[in-house]
Structure 1
Amino acid sequence: MLEEVLLDFANIPAEPSDVRSTCVKCQRPSSVCWCGSLPKPRLCPKSRIILLQHPAEEKRCLRTAPMLHFGLSDGKCLVYKGKRFPGKHQGLEDILTEKNTILLYPSPAAVDLKTVVGSDINTTFNLVIIDGTWPQAKAIYASNPILHKIRQVKLLTNSVSNYIIRTQPTEGCLSTLETATEALTLLENDEIYRKLLDPLRTLCEFQLQNGAVSHQSKEFLIKNKKYPKLIGKRLNKVLNSAEIFSVEDSLKD
């Protein structure tokens, strides 16, 4: 009997035989990979997207920044990770100080992106977007004086987020991918950039098919008396603001 038990243990494989394969690009299980929905060929705008990404974003499994990075041609979406910039990033300071660099951030000095496009119709831009939650974006902006010197713009749009598997604070909040897509559509005057949203739709479809549910914004739930928690000061301030934030989420779920 003992010999049979030991023999059974000896036959146990060192690694599980049913480990799911992972896509080397998006790092998701191959069965729910969204890479097949990326634009083909990759889109090549005249302008560039510069993402200043908070380190915590790397830990999120449902990020949209990689969709933007892989949907655009090489060199058209540059990602710099950190809390203080330019820091150790070679060449970033040169980009941030160029005359055609604009920062998408809803400061009091920010102007509608549409007015910038209208006045500089032949200009190509370096569009800087802070990638993180709203508190993280505010912290990055506050601790980086170099950002205060950049011409600041805001995105005014009626678009509703396609990121329906995450709870947004307000009806107007967009993911990083959606924000960049809206901005590129304006800057390049071309609807083709909406193809960048296809991987996000694919991701949401996969998640919904595997148990996720469609989320309404916190603003919608509160207005319809369906929000299950007490409203804190920070959330109340966000809901009372008329600005549309250009970050992944204004608040964590």
Structure 2
Amino acid sequence: MADSFAEKAVWDDLSNIPADPPRMRDICRKCERPVPVCWCSALPPQPLVPKSRIILLQHPAEEKRALRTAPMLSVGLAPGKCLIYKGKKFPKFDSELEAILADEKSLLLYPSINSIPIEQLDLSQGPFNLVLIDGTWPQAKAIYTSSSILHGMRQAKLVRSGNSNYIIRTQPTDGCLSTLETAVEALSILEQDDSYKEQLLRPLHALCQFQLNNGAVTHQSKEFLIKHNQYPKLIGKRLNRLLRNAENLQDHEGEAEIKH
């Protein structure tokens, strides 16, 4: 008797499954997000046309992230001003990308020991191809390590970047920025025009505000949580290194300000 009741319950559940597949939400053709959470209304009225261009070397896992920021660059800038190449190793037999990376006007934004502050560049040598690695820090480091062509490039870094406005995502340390914020900050320096930051960051603000309005919470960096004894996990070696590097950078900047 119990078996017959269980069998009937199963059949009742199956009979309630709709014959047609569920209706998918309408997708915006420009940002490829569901229309109710589309951020395209926050984009510049017309795509911006900088002299320099952005080249993103994107880890394949980034494409699966629902809240990624790279698309805000690709649609906020004019066609040809933001090129995206996907992979874990570059140039990966791509002759066009290989030519870009070998160009003397190409600049890799990466915090290596050979990087110079981007503010110290001779801007008369531009316009530049600004190359960024799009992925988490471990993914970016793996791409850099496996792509030997990147090692010989001119390299620059952002020294004073402030904290991220991407407040719905946890950053490793204070001062870490999203791909969009890093590119926009560097581009505004190369173009000597702060309006790039003002206009290209609006979609990020719109995205964060929508998420906060629908239950998301503001995220502090792991560095902040650790300093305030709020981090719930054990600290690994990689995060320890990041925190030490951040502290060393702050100490170095403090000494430089005192000397000046």
CA-to-aligned-CA distance 1:137-166 (integer Å, 9 cap, x gap): 111111111111110111111422110000
1:89 aligns with 2:94: yes
1:191 aligns with 2:216: no
Task: Give distance in 1, aligned partners of 2:219 and 2:123.
Answer: 39
Partner of 2:76: 71
Select the residue among 189, 201, 204 that pairs with 1:200.
204
Select the residue among 18, 22, 26 that pairs with 1:16.
22
Any stretches of 5+ residues in structure 2 without a counterpart? Answer: 1-14, 250-260
Select the residue among 206, 213, 228 that pairs with 1:209.
213
Select the residue among 163, 166, 173 that pairs with 1:163.
166
Shift of 1:25: 2.1
What stretches of structure 1 move > 3 A for 4+ residues in a row? none
1:80 aligns with 2:67: no
Task: Give distance in 2, aligned partners of 1:104 and 1:16.
Answer: 44
Shift of 1:13: 5.8
Shift of 1:60: 0.7
Partner of 1:51: 56
1:179 aligns with 2:182: yes
Q: Aligned AA for 1:78?
A: L
Partner of 1:114: 119
After superposition, the CA RMSD in angstroms is: 2.1
Task: Give distance in 1, aligned partners of 2:20 and 2:95.
Answer: 44
Partner of 1:6: none
Contact 1:101 1:151 in 2 (8 A): yes
Task: Give distance in 1, aligned partners of 2:72 and 2:78.
Answer: 12
Aligned residue pairs total 235
CA-to-aligned-CA distance 1:31-58 (integer Å, 9 cap, x gap): 1100111111111100010000011111
Partner of 2:155: 152
Task: Give distance in 2, aligned partners of 1:56 and 1:200.
Answer: 20
Partner of 1:225: 229
Structure-2 change in CA distance of 1:122 and 1:103 (3 Å): closer
Any stretches of 5+ residues in structure 1 without a counterpart? Answer: 1-8, 245-253
Partner of 2:242: 238
Between Structure 1 and Structure 2, which shows a larger proportion of helix residues? 2
Partner of 2:12: none
Contact 1:57 1:132 in 2 (8 A): yes
Q: Aligned AA for 1:159?
A: G
Specify the structure having the higher radius of gyration (Cα): 2
Partner of 2:137: 134
Shift of 1:122: 5.2
Identity of aligned residues (%): 61
TM-score of the superposed pair, with normalisation by structure 1: 0.88
Partner of 1:42: 47
CA-to-aligned-CA distance 1:9-46 (integer Å, 9 cap, x gap): 79x562435x4211122222111100111111111100
Q: Aligned AA for 1:161?
A: S
Shift of 1:191: 1.1
Shift of 1:97: 0.8
Structure number with the bigger relative contact order (C-alpha 8 A, sep ≥ 6) is: 1
Contact 1:80 1:89 in 2 (8 A): no
Partner of 2:37: 32
